[in-house]
Structure 1
Amino acid sequence: MAIGAPSSRWRRGVRLLVGLGVAAGLALGSTVALAGDGDHTHDQGAEQAELAAVRAATARFHRVEEAVAAGYELGWVNGAGVRIITGCVSHPTKGAMGYHYFNPELMADDDVSATEPEALVYAPAPDGGLRLVAVEWVVRSLQSNPPGVGAPPSVLGMEMHILVPPPGPAFYLAHAWVWGHNPDGMYADWNPDVRC
């Protein structure tokens, strides 16, 4: 879903998702509730097709160097010129997310496209490197610095939410653990299997 006028990247993403969703939706007609969004139902076939499209769009980013070459960078520079969210993001009891590589161009447009996530999330790997585990869609809220949109956007049929209100970044966000298993669910914010 785009906020404001649809961008060309949004229209491309919608065309891809609609094509994949229709094909898969015809094959699987069951309806399930998405984790973390109990009021919304989504066709399981369409959901799997959408997730497959996200994986296809982000498969080249398993190497951090590829993400950096595509414009992603560790952390995000806020409106005060301060780079934030540069460490491995963890929770004292719920596990962790990992390191967030943000694309400043995607962060600036206040749009959300399923196949162009604003952030790529990397977990520490046993060999000391990083492994891609999740994507994160991020849109700045009115309380962010600089401010963004006033209403929660949606992605993959789910309304995005603010996880860290002010004085935190106050971003609307949604995760999908498309490259790493999360026992708490595909769309959970925290992953108990990830350690910083």
Structure 2
Amino acid sequence: MSARPRALRASFALVVSVVLALGAAAPAVSAGPVVPVAGGDHGFPHPDLYRTYEATKKYRSEEKAIADGFERTDVCVEDTSGANLGGMGYHYVNPANIGSTDPTRPAAVIYAEDHGGGKRKPVALEWVVPDTGQPVPRAFDRDFDGPEPIPGLGEVYSLHAWIHRENPSGVFAPYNPRVHCGPCPE
């Protein structure tokens, strides 16, 4: 097994454990957000990502995410495998959305800190589907990653979409090299 799946599994396990402790199931450099262009030319690699963006842009306000059932965590997820993949950020998990593959209902909104202002800003979304023996879940014409074991949820599939902050590793990569926990790199 490569270091990447172990790091991903450990990172998400930590996040889910924190969320479970809250009673639920389940720092960035100054790169700008990914913003769709007027007229439908959004530049996303799949047309449903525009629907996702429209449904989640209100989460620029942490308070709106919390009001919609996303539970805040104070655990920032970053690759610790030594592969320098970057980070994910802070997962705000909505237990009601675990199992959804609906583009407008992610299980988590992921935030990173704006080191210039100290506020959290949305950077990505994540869908989490428990493995019940079904075929690999799909969204945006791609298979989810996994399955990987997550304490409290068992084996799960997951898919990230970096649509609120550009990710040089790709829209669907789990980690973003521009997201870091702790001091912002010089």
TM-score (norm. length: structure 2): 0.65
**Residues 79, 85 of structure 2: 8 Å contact kept:** yes
Cα drift, residue 165 of structure 1 = 3.2
1:153 aligns with 2:137: yes
**Residues 44, 50 of structure 2: 8 Å contact kept:** no
Task: Find the counterpart in structure 2 of residue 99 from structure 1.
Answer: 90
How many Å separate the matches in 2 of 1:63 and 1:166? 28
CA pair 50-95 structure 1, distance change in 2 beyond 3 A: same
Deviations 1:37-81 (A, max 9, x none): xxxxxxx98944222111101010111110000011125xxxxxx
Structure-to-structure mapping, 1:115-194, within 5 angstroms: 115-126=104-115, 127-142=117-132, 150-162=134-146, 164-165=148-149, 170-194=155-179
Deviations 1:110-143 (A, max 9, x none): 331011111100011112221100011111224x
Task: Find the counterpart in structure 1 of residue 54 from structure 2.
Answer: 56
Deviations 1:79-126 (A, max 9, x none): xxxxxxx5101103211000111111112xx33101111110001111
Matched letter for residue 68 of structure 1:
I
How many Å separate the matches in 1 of 2:174 and 2:91? 13
Matched letter for residue 130 of structure 1:
R
How many Å separate the matches in 1 of 2:121 and 2:76? 13
Task: Find the counterpart in structure 2 of residue 30 from structure 1.
Answer: none
Percent identity (aligned) = 34
Which structure is higher in strand share?
1
Matched letter for residue 129 of structure 1:
K
How many Å separate the matches in 2 of 1:184 and 1:195? 14
Matched letter for residue 104 of structure 2:
T
How many Å separate the matches in 2 of 1:181 and 1:161? 20
Task: Find the counterpart in structure 1 of residue 17 from structure 2.
Answer: none
Figure out how many residues of one structure are paired with residues of the other and give that number.
Answer: 138
How many Å separate the matches in 1 of 2:52 and 2:152? 28
RCO higher in structure (CA 8 A, sep ≥6): 2
CA pair 141-74 structure 1, distance change in 2 beyond 3 A: farther
How many Å separate the matches in 1 of 2:118 and 2:93? 21
Larger radius of gyration: 1
TM-score (norm. length: structure 1): 0.62
Unpaired runs of 5+ residues, structure 2, are: 1-38, 182-186
Unpaired runs of 5+ residues, structure 1, are: 1-22, 28-43, 76-85, 143-148
Q: Which of residues 67, 71, 79 is equivalent to 2:69?
A: 71
